Amino acid sequence: MNKKLYKLMNWADIEEIIYSECDHPQDLLGPHKHGSQTLIQAYFPGAKGCSIKWVSQSGNTTVSPMEIADDDGYFAILLPEKNVNNYTYKVTYEGEGIEDKVCFVGDPYRHGSVIKEADIKKFETGKLFNAQDYFGAHPMELDGEAGVNFTLWAPSALRVSVIGDFNGWDGRVYQMKRRSGGVFELFIPGNFENQKYQYEIKLKGDIILKKNDPYALRVENGTSVISEERAFNWTDKAFMSRKKDPKDMLIYEVSYDRFSSNAKQLKKDIANLIAEIKESGYTCALLSVQAYFEKRDKICSNFYEINPGIGFKNNLKMIVDALHGQGISVIFKWMPSGFGLEEAGLKRFDGTYLYEHADPKQGLSKDGKRGLFQYGRGEVISFLLSNGLYFLKEFHADGICVSGVAQMIYLDYGKGPGEWIPNIYGNNENLEAITFIKEFIKEAKAVRKGLCVMAEDSSAHQGMTVSQDLNGYGFDYKWNEGFIGEYFDYISHDPIERGGLQNKLTDELVYSYAEKFILPMTDELLVKGGGLLDLFPGNEEQRLASLRLSLCYSYLHPGYKLVSESFSKASEGLCAALNKLYISEPALSSENENPESFEWLSNLNREGCYVSFVRKTDDPEDMIVCVANFAGIEQTIQTGVPYEGKYKEILNTDYKIFGGSGIANPQIKRAIDNQSDGRAQSITVKIAPLSVSVLKFIPYTETELAKVIEERIRRNTPIKKSKKNTTK
């Protein structure tokens, strides 16, 4: 090596690079001006030779051999010009056969930074709401050269490298540049589309971690994949601007593994889904779009990864666009309540408790399967807020369902005494999580007017659907898991045991209007390893009857409707009839938030094991009477009714078309003057075991009313018979 070049070399820092402990490789590697010359250094571990192909200021292309500064593969050259920007390396490796292996590569260290200091500051303070645009792996062009820019947050790392298919998974090759705030960045020239990659994080004590990219859009076989997809041509502009009516909200929860990532099969899957939704009368589709680390426990790890069944971003866009084209709204389920604990995930990401709390009482769920986020750390807030907003903006979602809210807002969720740490006020509310949730709702609603944000919340926490201006959370709807839990606790018992549990059907009406509730008949109810019918006791016929009873009861109960694909398909067409009934009857669809719309007729008959009630509006002609038989025997039930008039059965879950036995009430019922349930008039309803009868009130016509009055007069007023005329 010539003396001048030797003197310019910083041998201590070179050793740091060779031992892969450098977080400022740009200070040595790449081009550096020295007067009228340029010093270029490169490190290719294991290479036997390296040349540089460069373009001079005069436009001449020259290939110059670089000198070996270290036998490990460290090369240097002093070029005679001070502005050398356009060049590539020709690297030679020892071949396995006769010929050597030659590679042509660009220089990552000749490029500047992409992420700005101002954006890093926003990220640190929890105010970078599009962090995915800066962090992760982004194919792009920089300084006239195509490549991929990698950005990662790992403040406690000694060194971070990009490893992947493109560098033999060697952490010495692409050592990243440390920025402020513990951010690492490196632009690597080349085309790496669909190649796998990870980050190799070196800690003190020669500890090496290999982590997936928290912002990776694709993950295959547990490893991040560089992904770039063509622009998508949306056709849903008109639908996106359309105003949605809450009374028409009938949500169909689509099965997680419904779709295929195969393009041809995906089109069939979409067409079949649309046909199911339209035929059954649903208006919204609820999709689980994130990939689960543990499917059953709904634990997410790679937060930007699309459900593997869907596979690609454009596949999900195709699904949403097709649903919008048929007038069907789309709601995404989002999982910010915690993360999986696999080694390549967020767990102790840079060797420290970066995303989670250090104390397991704060950083771990009760079962130890889920890491709990630090909702008070700015960088974590930026990560999560960006993730939720990304799914809303990028994929044209009409709403988002925040899953696991109770796990977020309660420090003692599922934990016993001594297993959790109180907040500064000594109670069990996670104040940081509550602040985060409110911030997300505010930002989500700023995305698009009319956007729906709902809470999948199993707690009795108050104010979920109260406006933030009134010190509430600001959700539009909350899942009424209290009602569902109490109901299925009741229905899971044998009918002969239900008499003493009648309060489980009736008590929840105390809080049914405390929030804007959604009633979720979903697969979340299924016991691990069990099927849908395992929710109910008895033989198969009784279980199917209980399923129909439960679906109908939820539709008649106040609250917006959400039914999973498995529940809907098992109902043999009942859900289609219920959706039609719901939309056509204002007493059901227009009065979900009005406590005056529900009135018990009979709710105390524990021995008979049945209830009856009315749903109504201000218009008497909208009223319907509902009779639900939870007993295991056929009954003829006498129930009081509010008005004189006729009552026509408009739906019965025991109809043969729904798989029932056909016990029904085909004749119109006339209210009679027979007191029952505190009412002057009543009707009798013949009802099969485990079934529901729904009757529509029909006022008398003028002619019918006159006849009723005459009959009542004749019945209640004695009329003396005239004597025979005996006069001769």
Q: Does residue 451 register a pLDDT over 60?
A: yes
**CA distances for 303 relative to 57, 60, 132, 377, angstroms:** 47, 48, 11, 18
Q: Does residue 510 register a pLDDT over 90?
A: no
Q: Does residue 311 register a pLDDT over 90?
A: no
84 backbone dihedrals φ, ψ, rounded to 5°: -115, 105
Mean pLDDT of 431-442: 97
**CA distances for 79 relative to 26, 38, 41, 73, angstroms:** 18, 5, 11, 19
What's the CA gap between 259 and 308, in Å, rounded? 9
Q: Does residue 725 register a pLDDT over 60?
A: no
Q: Largest Cα–Cα distance of the chain, in whole Å?
A: 161
So what's the pLDDT on residue 508? 82
- Burial of 56 by CB count in 10 Å (0-12 exposed, 13-18 middle, 19+ buried)? middle
What's the CA gap between 163 and 215, in Å, rounded? 16
Q: How confident is the model at residue 619 (pLDDT cuts 50, 70, 90)?
A: very high
**Every domain range in the chain assigned CATH 3.20.20.80:** 247-479
Does domain 117-225 bear CATH number 2.40.50.140? Answer: no
Condensed to tens digits (0 to 9), the pLDDT of residues 467-477 reads 999 999 999 99
Q: Does residue 143 register a pLDDT over 70?
A: yes
Please check whether residue 176 is in contact with residue 186, taking contact to mean a CB–CB distance below 8 angstroms: yes
Mean pLDDT of 523-540: 87
Neighbouring-strand partners of residue 285: 252, 330
What is the distance in angstroms between the CA of the first residue and the CA of the last residue of the chain? 158
Q: Does residue 637 register a pLDDT over 90?
A: yes
Please check whether residue 376 is in contact with residue 411, taking contact to mean a CB–CB distance below 8 angstroms: no
Q: How does 390-421 read in b/e, with b if 16+ C-beta sit within 10 Å?
A: bbbebbbbbbbbbbbbbbbbbbbbebeeeebe
The better pLDDT of the pair 3, 590 is held by: 590
Mean pLDDT of 171-198: 96
Please check whether residue 474 is in contact with residue 441, taking contact to mean a CB–CB distance below 8 angstroms: yes
Q: At 358, list the tokens.
A: 């250090």
Q: What is the mean pLDDT of the chain?
A: 93
**What's 584's DSSP letter?**
H
**CA distances for 487 relative to 482, 526, 528, angstroms:** 8, 14, 19
Q: Is 51 helix (H, G, I), strand (E, B) or coil?
A: strand
So what's the pLDDT on residue 511? 86
So what's the pLDDT on residue 529? 67
What's the CA gap between 65 and 622, in Å, rounded? 90
Neighbouring-strand partners of residue 93: 47, 101
Q: How confident is the model at residue 82 (pLDDT cuts 50, 70, 90)?
A: confident
What's the CA gap between 687 and 635, in Å, rounded? 5
So what's the pLDDT on residue 263? 84
* H or E element, residue 570: none
Please check whether residue 329 is in contact with residue 285, taking contact to mean a CB–CB distance below 8 angstroms: yes
Q: How does 666-704 read in b/e, with b if 16+ C-beta sit within 10 Å?
A: eeebebeeeebbebebbbebbbbbbbbbbbbbbebeeee
Label residue 306 left, alpha or beta by phi (over 0 means left) and psi (-120 to 50 means alpha). Answer: beta
Q: Does residue 421 register a pLDDT over 70?
A: yes
Q: How confident is the model at residue 290 (pLDDT cuts 50, 70, 90)?
A: very high
Q: Please report, to the nearest 10 degrees, the dihedral formed by the alpha carbons of residues 642, 645, 650, 654 taken in order.
A: 70
**Every domain range in the chain assigned CATH 2.60.40.10:** 3-106, 117-225
What's the CA gap between 313 and 216, in Å, rounded? 12
Q: Please report, to the nearest 10 degrees, the dihedral formed by the alpha carbons of residues 489, 494, 497, 498 taken in order.
A: 50
- Burial of 477 by CB count in 10 Å (0-12 exposed, 13-18 middle, 19+ buried)? buried
So what's the pLDDT on residue 99? 79
Mean pLDDT of 625-637: 97
So what's the pLDDT on residue 218? 93
CATH of 3-106, one of 3.20.20.70, 1.10.10.10, 2.30.40.10, 2.60.40.10: 2.60.40.10
Please check whether residue 621 is in contact with residue 581, taking contact to mean a CB–CB distance below 8 angstroms: no
So what's the pLDDT on residue 10? 84
Q: Which CATH class is domain 247-479?
A: alpha beta
**What's 371's DSSP letter?**
B
In 3D space, the residue among 342, 308, 339, 338 whose CA is nearest the CA of residue 198 turns out to be: 342
List the alpha helices (DSSP H) in 282-401.
313-325, 360-363, 378-394
Q: Does residue 720 register a pLDDT over 70?
A: no
Q: At 615, list the tokens.
A: 């749903």
**Strand ranges for 123-214 from DSSP E:** 136-142, 145-153, 159-164, 174-175, 177-178, 183-189, 196-203, 207-211
List the alpha helices (DSSP H) in 557-669.
565-569, 574-584, 586-589
What is the residue-wise DSSP string for 460-488? --S-TTS-GGGTS---SEEE-HHHHHHHH
Sheet holding 183-189, edge to edge: 136-142, 145-153, 183-189, 177-178
Q: Which residues contact 259 (CB under 8 A, 6 or more apart)?
A: 266, 269, 270, 307, 309, 310, 315, 319
So what's the pLDDT on residue 717? 81
Q: What is the sign of the dihedral through the CA atoms of 510, 511, 514 and 515? A: negative
Task: Report, in this order, helix, strand and coil percent for the chain, each rounded to 5.
Answer: 30, 30, 45
Q: Side-chain half-sphere of 237: how many Cα atoms within 13 Å?
A: 3
Mean pLDDT of 285-297: 81
So what's the pLDDT on residue 2? 77
What's the CA gap between 399 and 560, in Å, rounded? 15
Q: How confident is the model at residue 722 (pLDDT cuts 50, 70, 90)?
A: low
Q: How confident is the model at residue 84 (pLDDT cuts 50, 70, 90)?
A: confident
Does domain 594-714 bear CATH number 2.60.40.1180? Answer: yes
